[in-house]
Each structure stands twice: as C-alpha cells, then as structure tokens.
Amino acid sequence: MSDVSQAVAPTDHTFQVYYSKADRQIRWKFDGADDIETCKVYTSDSIAFSIQPEAHDGGGTLVQSVLLSGSQSDKTKGAPFEEGALIDLSKTMNLKVGTSTGLWGFSIAFTVAHGDSSTSFYFVPDPELQVGSIRA
C-alpha cells in the first residue's frame, strides 16, 4: 500500500485525480486545468499522475491503481506510454509518453482504504491523450 499524498518528481505534465469518500465522486485536472477536452503531449514527454482526496475528505491509503489505454483509431498500434497499455500505477505514477502518435483514450481505476476499515472503488472514465500535439 502507498500513501495517497506522496510527492511526485518534476515532469513535463501532471494528471491529478481527486476523490471524495462522502459522495463517491472523482474529478481530474491535466496541467492544472479542469474539464479539458484533450490532454495534449509530445512523444517522450513525461506525465506525473497523482491520486489524492478532496480537501474536505478524510483521505486514505491507495491500495491498488491501474491505467488502461487504447487507441481511438484501428490504424494506430501499440500504446501511448512506454510502460505499456495496462499499467500498475501502484508501482509508478511517473509515466513516459512513447513514440506512437495519435489519439488515445485511457481510464484509471483505483481502490482506497479508509481509516474506518472501509474501502472505496473509483473510476476515471475516459480522458483523451493526443500524442504529437502542437505546443501552444
């Protein structure tokens, strides 16, 4: 098990997931922005993922966390990350974008153990990652 609030090393991008035990909801930010349509990155960029409780939440311990990705096109093969298409985020939250350009969908599922001996399961449904984006 790992502490949900662990610090992350400096990277090119951040993907932050916030959860709430009270209402079982999640929200996410990419590079500090809410509700963006597409996470735009270049090949070889790095992304630091983090999972943390909302400020009003009591927190907990991250028990398990996985990321699953897939291409938005049947012509694009491989995975958007060097670590593969199925990644155990419990082992590493700093991922490296690979060399396969295109539009990718991904989801994150995770379990948090709370201090009251309960656990909660959360799902981040479908952010999109555009590899090979034009930098602003």
| Residue 45 within a domain | yes
Strand 128-131 vs strand 39-41: parallel, antiparallel, or unpaired?
parallel
| Residue 136 within a domain | no
State the total domains in the chain. Answer: 1
Give the phi and the psi of residue 49 in degrees, each rounded to 5: -90, 145
pTM, rounded to two decimals: 0.85
Residues 65-104: tens digit of each pLDDT = 999 999 988 777 889 999 999 999 999 999 999 998 899 9
| Residue 124 within a domain | yes
Q: Which residues contact 31 (CB under 8 A, 6 or more apart)?
A: 13, 14, 39
Cβ contact 39:15 at 8 Å: yes
Residues 15-48: tens digit of each pLDDT = 999 999 888 889 999 999 997 889 999 999 999 9
Could you give the CA distance from residue 49 to residue 56 in angstroms, rounded to a whole number? 21
Q: How far is CA 133 from CA 4, 35, 59, in A?
A: 30, 18, 35
Tell me which DSSP letter residue 81 carries.
B
Q: Over 90: is that where the pLDDT of 11 sits?
A: no
- Domain containing 81 equals 2-131
DSSP assignments along 26-78, one per residue: EEEEETTEES-S-EEE-TT-EEEEEEEE-TTS---EEEEEEEEEEESSTT--S
